[in-house]
Chains A and B, each alone.
Chain A
Amino acid sequence: MAHANAAYMDPPAHREIGAGVYNEKLGMWVFLGSEVLFFTALIGSYIILRFGTPEAFAEPGGILNIPVTAVNTFLLICSSVTMVKAFAAVHDGDQKGLKLYLVATVLIGATFVSVQVFEYVQLIHEGFVPSGYVAGSHFAELAAAGELPANVNIYGSSFYTMTGFHGFHVTMGVICMVYVTIKAFQGKYTATDHRGVEVIGLYWHFVDLVWIILFTIVYLV
């Protein structure tokens, strides 16, 4: 069967005209449409709750560590760049570049997740958990002293749920990216057929974009 030919990058032959893209790409677009609505549910709830009880949210930087997360955000943006590079490489038939940039993307993605885990550990240690403050913790004392909001239940709820689900998406992305990287090392992607690279790339850019929104509305405002 003549599968590994350029026809795959085009819509299937001998069909009515469809979306003009191959199945995997169309499927990923549809799936990402679904993801948009998922994050809309979380982010929309956050916005409604924040407008409902603005006093339950700390000032930017009051609880969350903006510098560390800013660096992390920069890392994730870099990983989108390496992803673009990987795609460009395979498109030009540069197998070495493909492998290099895929590995870079995996590593940066994993670093992002690790930094997020580190951030969670720090926050929990200092007394900020999904249900608000831990009694007797550092943050609880600051709150008692009037330097932080008296009650941050909703803040904790939405912070952990939104960033947690984003982190989960990045983790899933890294796992899929490892799979794609292994296939790249096996030489499965060619200049004419590299659907796996393009499709995981779409997902990766989407996750990146969601993070930029989350970073802005959760950390900066």
Chain B
Amino acid sequence: MATSAPPIDAVHAGHGHELSFIRKYIFSTDHKIIGVQFLLLSLVGLFLGGMMAMAIRWQLGFPEGSMPLGGIFPETMVSGGVMLPEFYNSLVTMHGTFMVFFAVMPLLVGVFGNYLIPLKIGAEDMAFPRINMWSFWVAVIGTVIMMAGFWVEGGHSQAGWTQYAPLSADPQWTGVATGQQLWLLSIAVLGLSSILGATNYITTVVNLRAPGMTWFRLPLSIWSLFITAILVVLAIPILSGAAIMLFFDQTIGTSFFNATAGGQPILWQHLFWYFGHPEVYILILPAMGMVSEVIANGSRKPIFGYHSMVYAIIAIAFLGWIVWGHHMFQSGMNPTLGMTFMISTMFIAVPSAIKVFNWMGTMWRGNLTLHVPMLNAIAFVAMFVIGGLSGVYMASTPVDIYIHDTYFIVAHIHYVLFGGSLFALFAAITFWYPKMFGRMMSEAWGRVHFALTFVFFNLTFWPMHYLGLQGHMRRIYDPSQYEFLQHLSGTNRFVTISAFLLMVSQVIFAANFILSWFYGKKASENPWNDNGLEWSTPSPPPHGNWPDVPTVYRGPYEFSSPEVEEDFLPQHQKLPGDLEPEAAGRGS
């Protein structure tokens, strides 16, 4: 090891010795353990966010009915079996908060950023393993602070996950003081965790790539995680700054967002969405990257248009900074500005379309192995397209006048975040599970879970487009208040029942996940016949990943290459004609 001058003294100080249980599994500096820790934490977040959605759906489907299990909540939340509007608003707020900040974002960035980056670029670990450990534990602190909000007096924040001021700026408007402050504090703490993590990712990808792993041999998952990390570093501090200002408005009497004292409520929206739109791409780019890996593997074909895939990721990330105003077309901002934001937003459709067509191009004339990860990855493409296309309606400013703040938006975001990111996560978790835990997940139950999720997902969210087109506002506690929404109660009930079935289907995934950990078939080093470096080391990989850093001879997608008999050709496999990276003209 000494010869390769490892970048990390902290980790390797303990190399070769038996680490204590605590150092090995709790306060571990190993990127793989930290990835798994993030996985377990964020699956809990995902579950909680899902349960909140169930409560929300119950209220919308059966506004008069007494809530099942309503009795377990205190009178201040559910009274006489009926959910109170205050609690409903808290649930809406926290469902969004949990799904964005405590489920999808840590699942994509925290889990797979940590797990895949060193393994796929050929590094023993992250550049800063100890900071990596801190990034996880700071996230735990953020989670605890956020959870605490449910138990404080006045309940949790009721201002929506977007926290529009002045509703969120002064306790007099919602009656929530402490819960609101905890929300803001938690987000600031979580922001620190994200920034620490992303700093690590960027440094690692730039400085620790194995010899031969040139930029254009990087797997697309790493490209997308790298670009995502840049977005995190530049977007999250904006949210932290805004959250702190709002926190001061709440606590020490500043008036940044308080119009009566000269502040500007709309400033909050600008800051929030200046962070918020890049955040949308933080929540989808890693998904796109990992889906690319799985689709190439499942199609047994090189990624179609690798370079345009990379440029599309960069273009999406770049355009993501100049479109935030599309969330504010109806906010009263300058109409000419609205026009500019419409045009820039429309253009995001272009790189998104490039990606979709390249995935299809990859499958075209392939030899499609429809394993569970591949099924979920294809579902990702199919569902992301719907979410992308429904985005065009909102991008069009006049149509947005009508559908803004309706269920059409709810449908859109769920097609992108659930149909998109979450299907990608099902693909990613099932694909890398054998590497993480050394065992295979059940293929048969994986198929059942996929089929049920796909069906009930669409039965839940497709009708929401219709609800939105009929004018159904989002975030309302009781649609039966309005004459023009009366005829939608049947649709609402249908959506609710589908949502319950969707949630129940996830039990299969949970059971498969947990039981396979103990009883799954032992996984070989490379169960999917893939090309990535992570498949060149045992499952699960040892501390330090490889005895020696591997050398890379080619790109990551050489499936069905005519040069070899098999239909895959790993990046580290040296063929007779391959030159060593130094000989091939590498500088150092």
Contacts and interface: CB of A to CB of B under 8 A. Distances in A.
Contacts of A156: 254
Interface string A10-47: 01111111110011101100110111011111100100
B245 to A, nearest CB: 6
Contacts of A15: 207-211, 549, 588
A18 B248 contact: no
B443 interface: no
Most B CB contacts (10 A, CB to CB) among A22, A26, A45 go to A45
B330 to A, nearest CB: 20
B128 A23 contact: yes
B242 A41 contact: yes
A130 B267 contact: no
A137 interface: no
B512 to A, nearest CB: 38
Interface residues of B, number: 57
B4 A13 contact: yes
B210 A2 contact: no
Given A14-B5, A26-B206, A154-B261, A35 B254 contact: no
A23 B11 CA distance: 15
B12 interface: yes
Interface string A134-171: 00000000000000000101101110110001000000
A161 to B, nearest CB: 6
Contacts of B235: 37
A131 interface: yes
Contacts of B7: 12, 23
Contacts of B549: 14-15
A65 interface: no
Contacts of B434: none
Contacts of A35: 237
A153 B195 contact: no
Given A15-B210, A30-B203, A37-B238, A45 B255 contact: no
Contacts of B210: 15-16
Interface residues of A, number: 48
Interface in B173-223: 195, 198-200, 202-203, 206-214
Given A41-B271, A151-B262, A154-B256, A7 B5 contact: yes
Interface string B226-237: 000000011111
Given A30-B233, A37-B234, A131-B252, A18 B242 contact: no
Contacts of A34: 195, 198-199, 233-234, 236-237
Contacts of B242: 41, 45
Interface in B419-472: none
B236 A41 contact: no
A86 interface: no
Given A13-B588, A16-B213, A49-B256, A161 B245 contact: yes
Contact of B203 (A17, A26, A56, A151): A26
A1 B1 CA distance: 8
A122 interface: no
A19 B207 contact: yes
A22 B212 CA distance: 19
B488 to A, nearest CB: 40
Q: Which of A26, A27, A34 is most buried by chain B, counting CB atoms within 10 A of its CB?
A: A34
A108 to B, nearest CB: 27
B253 A130 contact: yes
Contacts of B203: 23, 26-27, 30
Contacts of B209: 15-16, 18
A3 B213 CA distance: 24
B215 to A, nearest CB: 8
Interface string B1-23: 11111110100100000000000
A130 B213 contact: no
Nearest to A156: B254
B365 interface: no
A52 interface: yes
Nearest to A35: B237
28 contacts: A2-B5, A14-B5, A14-B549, A15-B208, A15-B549, A16-B212, A19-B206, A19-B207, A26-B127, A26-B207, A27-B127, A31-B195, A33-B233, A33-B234, A34-B199, A34-B237, A38-B238, A45-B256, A48-B267, A49-B267, A52-B264, A56-B262, A132-B253, A154-B261, A156-B254, A157-B263, A160-B254, A161-B254
Given A34-B198, A41-B238, A132-B253, 5 more contacts: A11-B207, A33-B233, A33-B234, A34-B195, A34-B234
Q: 10 closest pairs, A vs B, by CB?
A: A41-B241, A131-B253, A157-B254, A38-B237, A18-B207, A16-B209, A153-B261, A37-B237, A23-B127, A153-B255
